[in-house]
Structure 1
Amino acid sequence: METLKPLIKITSVKSKQAMLLWLEGFREACCLHRVVILCLRSRNLLFRTGQCFLLNGLIFLGSLGLFNKFVVPTLQWILPDRCSLITSQEFCSSGNVLRVYSFLRGGLVQLFYVFWFYPLYMFSFILSNIWYNDIAKYGFEAMERSDSSSVEGETVASTNMAKAERPSGFGGVMIVIGEQVYSIILLTVFFLEVYAVGYVPYIGKILNFLLLSWMYAYYSYEYKWNFSGVPLDKRLDFFESNWAFFAGFGSPCVLAIFVFSPLVSGALMAILFPLFVLTATGSGPEKAILAPRRTWKCAGLGRLPIFYVADTLSMLALSFFRLESLQQTGHDKAN
């Protein structure tokens, strides 16, 4: 038992550090006043953010609200599912009319979804993703143009991650393109991983929430890191080395969408995500992370391989396509 005491003490200290960093990340994400500051500095940013709110909030969520509050009750009144709402009880006694009404009502509801909500959702998804890049760009430019070098004392170049020296010219461009392609593949595989863990018995929902928090946190900071020129390996190393902070940063967004239906969650996500992108743009994660470390006088919690599975599967996929390409090249040369 005596030999376990140091281990228990270390575990307790690490758990406390993880909780404090999680809370610090949560607090950083909730500093939404930074969005107001950045929007006041950039008319383009204010306009693009307003467009995002108009499309996803007023049009999409408004359509869902009107449908549930007015269209569905109207269909329920026209095509009731209880005999008490039908004048002729004899006509209703067989029950066939209720089944017909139920079928017609369900069919009309599905038509609304097929011809309005699903197309609107896809249109909103595509257009919002285009706007997110503009929002992040205008937010980053607003910080660079500001007379002060900080937002609430946080530097514009808020990331102190060491930047790898890249070759200039065509070689540097190809490296950047290669990183972007690999990043897309990696995050796509990670998204599928997030979706899959939701089906794990008992702990699936907890794992799904945690991985979603990391995913949204990474997406929020990725725009800033792209504009800052931070290489992909440095981003992943920094992210996995400070996993507790980023789990906290992504939690508010996941909490807001976790309990709603997929369509409502998608609309809420489209509204909230640009806010967290701007919050990440105006934040300095290193300052928030290093301050507690000075108090603890320790190196940190250690690196957690969050993207290990996604990285492994992505490398296997790239190796497979590379092998296919080499075989095709060799076949063409032989002919």
Structure 2
Amino acid sequence: MVEAVKGSAQQYLHGLKDSLYGITHIFQLNKKVNDQNRKKRQRLQDDVQARRYRNRFEARRPLHSNSTSIQKTTSSSKSEAGLLRGLGMNTAMSLMIWGSLWMFHGYLTPWIQYRLEKFMSSSTEEDVKEAHLYATDTILRLFFYSLWVLPLHFISKIVNSLYFVGVSSAIYQHYRGQPRGFSSTGRMLADFIFSSVVQTIFLVQANLVLEIPYFGHLSSLLYGLHYSLLYALYAFEYKWFNMGLDFRLRVLLVETHWPYFCGFGTPLFVCINLTYYSVVVSGCVFSFLFPFFIISAIKAETPPQTPAARLRIFDVCMLVCDSVCKRYLSSKMTSDGAQSTAPR
């Protein structure tokens, strides 16, 4: 028992250390990726020049193929070299949303309420003043969030999703070579839908755990455990997806090595909760920090053994998702069978 607790603590600290790799090595990694692609382009250019000298009149076709490969390498290097540029754009969008919220709540709303109080006469009753101020604040919030914050937030979500995929592909190729992926598009799509549903149910489970009465701090610890494992799964999925691992195997890895993955996801969970102001602000913090954890996850190596027993924390979510899928498929097959046996 003591050895299991000691080993779990060591793996937790190991995951905590691995999660900080992306933050501490982003500049070095960006330089390595740029140097690697510069060498690739130089080798291809040297090969083209050598072919020119060897055969000046019959080298059009191979020269064309090598030129095409140079163009592909150049375009891929631009996307890979944009780690810091993409991170800067991601940070700028997050700061724009955060700064606009700060300006609105800290300066614009108090100034409008102050001018409104000045505009209303002193003979106006306090209840009427408070009703007017409350209505004004509600209308301002409604227009501000619906016309500025939410559209900008959704745009940043789309941009960040594309940026996360670009970062994961570039870093994966740098450390582990060409991604293998899934054998078919249908299997990849089914895996994506199944994982999205399970993760959504897991979010509901985490928030239900927090509401358990009479548990006190234990509920908060279980809540933190849920979110730490979920954030670690988010980060490692970009690596495992490129390796072609299906979702059930990914969940098995997280449940088997849960002390390590709990430590890996703890920094992101703590940062989001310490800066929590609203869902939008927490989304900005997540968007800013998450690329670093993708880099850390791709570089990290999961410990081969774990001293703790498997934590089957996803079992309920998997059972619910399996039952929903089976019920949907059975109803679909029943309706298709009824249509095929209907007289024509």
**TM-score, scaled to structure 2:** 0.75
Aligned residue number for residue 193 of structure 2: 181
Aligned residue number for residue 317 of structure 1: 324
Q: How does 1:17-56 map to 2 (within 5 A)?
A: 17-31=7-21, 32-40=23-31, 41=33, 42-56=80-94
Deviations, residues 264-303 of structure 1 (Å, cap 9, x unaligned): 1111011111111111112222xxx35xx6xxxxx62121
Aligned residue number for residue 102 of structure 2: 65
Deviation at 1:208, TM superposition (A): 2.0
Deviations, residues 53-83 of structure 1 (Å, cap 9, x unaligned): 2222x32112122223321332242234xxx
Aligned residue number for residue 291 of structure 2: 274
Report if the CA contact (8 A) 1:257-1:265 is conserved. yes
Q: Report the Cα distance in structure 1 between the residues aligned to 2:212 and 2:230, rounded to whole angstroms.
A: 18
Name which of 302, 308, 313 aligns with 2:315.
Answer: 308
Unaligned segments of structure 1, at least 5 residues: 1-9, 146-155, 158-162, 294-298
Aligned residue number for residue 105 of structure 1: 137
Q: Report the Cα distance in structure 1 between the residues aligned to 2:120 and 2:99, rounded to whole angstroms.
A: 34
**CA 1:127–1:197 in 2, change beyond 3 Å: closer, same or farther?**
farther
Name which of 200, 208, 217 aligns with 2:212.
Answer: 200
Deviations, residues 159-184 of structure 1 (Å, cap 9, x unaligned): xxxx9xx9x7xxx5544444333223
Q: How does 1:64-103 map to 2 (within 5 A)?
A: 64-80=101-117, 89=122, 91-92=123-124, 95-103=127-135
Name which of 335, 338, 342 aligns with 1:331.
Answer: 338
Report if the CA contact (8 A) 2:8-2:307 is conserved. no
Q: Quick one: which amino acid aligns to residue 92 of structure 2?
A: L
Deviation at 1:124, TM superposition (A): 2.1
Report if the CA contact (8 A) 1:49-1:135 is conserved. no
| Cα-Cα RMSD | 2.7
Q: Report the Cα distance in structure 2 between the residues aligned to 1:187 and 1:87, rounded to whole angstroms.
A: 51
Aligned residue number for residue 119 of structure 1: 151
Within the alignment, does 1:129 sit opposite 2:119 as a pair?
no
Q: Report the Cα distance in structure 2 between the residues aligned to 1:263 and 1:232, rounded to whole angstroms.
A: 28
How many residues end up aligned between the 2 structures? 288
Aligned residue number for residue 139 of structure 1: 171
**CA 1:220–1:179 in 2, change beyond 3 Å: closer, same or farther?**
same
Q: Report the Cα distance in structure 1 between the residues aligned to 2:175 and 2:269, rounded to whole angstroms.
A: 27
Aligned residue number for residue 264 of structure 1: 281
**TM-score, scaled to structure 1:** 0.77
Does the residue aligned with 1:302 lie in a helix, a strand or coil? Answer: coil
Q: Quick one: which amino acid aligns to residue 63 of structure 1?
A: S
Deviation at 1:246, TM superposition (A): 0.3
Q: Report the Cα distance in structure 1 between the residues aligned to 2:311 and 2:127, rounded to whole angstroms.
A: 60
Report if the CA contact (8 A) 2:113-2:133 is conserved. no
Q: Quick one: which amino acid aligns to residue 280 of structure 1?
A: A
Within the alignment, does 1:15 sit opposite 2:5 as a pair?
yes
Q: Report the Cα distance in structure 2 between the residues aligned to 1:276 and 1:181, rounded to whole angstroms.
A: 23
Does the residue aligned with 1:258 lie in a helix, a strand or coil? Answer: helix
Q: Report the Cα distance in structure 2 between the residues aligned to 1:110 and 1:241, rounded to whole angstroms.
A: 46
Within the alignment, does 1:211 sit opposite 2:226 as a pair?
yes
Deviations, residues 28-63 of structure 1 (Å, cap 9, x unaligned): 11222233333332313333333222222x321121
Q: Give percent identity, aligned residues only.
A: 22
**CA 1:46–1:330 in 2, change beyond 3 Å: closer, same or farther?**
same
Aligned residue number for residue 153 of structure 1: none
Report if the CA contact (8 A) 1:34-1:278 is conserved. no
Q: Report the Cα distance in structure 1 between the residues aligned to 2:120 and 2:249, rounded to whole angstroms.
A: 72
Name which of 251, 255, 260 aligns with 1:236.
Answer: 251
Deviation at 1:88, TM superposition (A): 5.8
